[in-house]
């Protein structure tokens, strides 16, 4: 069992997204899985360039992105993975730029332009998206960000396997609110929530990792026929 996690945050050490991913991987390891952590902001790559090489009728192999860059070797390793966990902060209501570019390159080569939209990925595997964000529960309801999260969940489900979401809300933006613009925030409430709630989010991430490594057969591919 191999579980690969992808950190789509530019904060690569000791912050919200990476902390949750590390807890998820510890959970997977406790269930016997081998794990790998990929720091997306360490790689030099682009999103999909719309060359449609992966849709050519004379292509030699399915599910291969023609773009050659730092992501190429990573995408090759995905083919051997048994579960994928992708973590991203929420920037302006969606995934970070690096995460979004990664998702384009990850998914599109396996997307078949056919009536049933069947994935070209050869197996069904567990997947998960971990989102960290500064918005509160109430703000999340007002903004409609959940529609974006659900769309990503749906697309990962179509291409790979049942996708689980973990939302970590009202997280800390700064370690020291006195050094940055922060008038709109109650810093003491932020610190308290981080002390009280974030450890619970870490526990949920650990448990998610266990589920990702469970080997449970994911739900059937949606039928769009």
For 104-138, give the DSSP string: HHHHGGGB--STT--B-SSS--EEEEEEE-S--HH
Q: What is the pLDDT of residues 90-128, one digit of tens each?
A: 999 999 999 999 999 999 999 988 887 789 999 999 999
Give me the residue spans of the domains in the chain: 2-212
Task: Find the range with the poorest average confidence among 53-57, 75-79, 168-172, 218-222.
Answer: 218-222
CATH of domain 2-212: 3.40.50.360
Q: What is the pLDDT of residues 70-90, one digit of tens each?
A: 999 999 999 999 999 999 999
CB contact burial 46-69 (16+ within 10 A = b; e otherwise): ebbeeeeebeeeeeeeebbbebee
Say what the pTM is: 0.93
pLDDT at 139: 87
Q: What is the pLDDT of residues 169-197, one digit of tens each?
A: 999 999 899 999 988 888 899 999 999 99
Q: Residue 220: is its pLDDT beyond 80?
A: no
pLDDT at 103: 98
Q: How far is CA 66 from CA 28, 58, 62, 118, in A?
A: 32, 13, 11, 21
């Amino acid at each position: 069992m191999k579980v690969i996690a992808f950190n789509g945050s530019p904060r690569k050490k000791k912050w919200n997204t990476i902390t949750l991913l590390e807890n998820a991987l510890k959970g997977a390891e406790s269930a016997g899985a081998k794990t790998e952590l990929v720091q997306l902001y360490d790689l030099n790559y682009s999103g999909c360039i719309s060359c449609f090489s992966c849709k050519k009728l004379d292509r030699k192999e399915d599910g291969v992105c023609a773009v050659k860059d730092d992501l190429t070797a990573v995408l090759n390793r995905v083919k051997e993975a048994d579960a994928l966990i992708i973590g991203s902060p929420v920037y302006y209501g969606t995934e970070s730029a690096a995460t979004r570019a990664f998702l384009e390159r990850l998914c599109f080569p396996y997307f078949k332009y056919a009536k049933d939209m069947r994935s070209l990925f050869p197996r069904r595997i567990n997947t998960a998206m971990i989102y960290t964000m500064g918005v509160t529960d109430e703000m999340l309801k007002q903004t409609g960000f959940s529609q974006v999260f659900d769309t990503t969940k749906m697309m990962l489900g179509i291409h790979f396997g049942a996708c689980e979401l973990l939302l970590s809300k009202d997280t800390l933006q700064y370690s020291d609110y006195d050094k940055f613009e922060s008038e709109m925030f109650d810093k003491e409430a932020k610190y308290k929530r981080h002390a009280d709630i974030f450890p619970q989010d870490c526990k949920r991430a650990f448990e998610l990792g266990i589920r990702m490594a469970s080997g449970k057969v994911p739900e059937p591919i949606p039928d769009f026929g």
